[in-house]
Amino acid sequence: MTTTDPAPGHLVTTSAGDDGRPAVVLKSGEITPRQRGGGARTIPLVSQQVGAKDFLNGITMFGPGAAIPEHIHNCDESVLIIRGSAVAHIDGVEYPVTVGDNSFIPAGIAHFFQNTSDTDELHIFWTYASVDANRTIVATGVTTRIDEEHGTNLT
C-alpha cells in the first residue's frame, strides 16, 4: 500500500526503516527537471527531502554539445552514463564514455562531462557520497550546495 506525497513523482510507502523513515518510490518521469543553464537540466531524486541521510542522486540531461563548467566536490561522486556519449574531463585528461560506463571521482578532483553529440542528448545518473555535497566551479571559485542547486534543501 502507498500514499502519495504532495511532491509530484514521490510515492511514500507505508513501510518504514528501523529509524522510522519511510521507503519512497521516485518516478523520474513525473518530476519536473530543474534548469541548470548552459543546456543542462536535472531531475533530483534521492535527497534529504525524501529522508536520505548519507547520499544524494539524480539524473542530469545535457543538450547537444552541453557541459557544466569544470568543478570539484567536497565528497566522492559516481557518474553513470545512461544515454548518449560524452567526454569525461578528469583532472585535465579526456576519457571517452558511453552508455553503461561509470566513473568514480574522489573529492577534490577537477572534472566535468561534455556531451559529444551534435544532435542527441546525454543523460547521466549521478550519486554524491554526502547529503552535504557541494560544487565549486574552478574558474570562479564559487561554491554552492548540490541540494540548493536542485531545490531539495530542507532550509
pLDDT greater than 50 at residue 1: no
**How far is it, in rounded angstroms, from Cα 93 to Cα 87?**
10
68-78: per-residue pLDDT in tens? 999 999 999 99
For residue 5, pLDDT over 80 is answered with no
Say if pTM beats, i.e. exceeds, 0.85.
yes
Q: How far is CA 11 from each of CA 16, 24, 109, 111, 127, rounded to the nearest angstrom? A: 13, 6, 36, 34, 21
Whether 2 shows a pLDDT value over 60: the answer reads: no
Residue 4: is its pLDDT beyond 80?
A: no
Mean pLDDT of the chain: 94
CA distances, 149 to each of 69, 73, 93, 122, 153 (Å)? 14, 13, 27, 20, 9
- Using a pLDDT cut of 70, give the percent of the chain over it: 95
77-134 pLDDT, tens digit each: 999 999 999 999 999 999 999 999 999 999 999 999 999 999 999 999 999 999 999 9
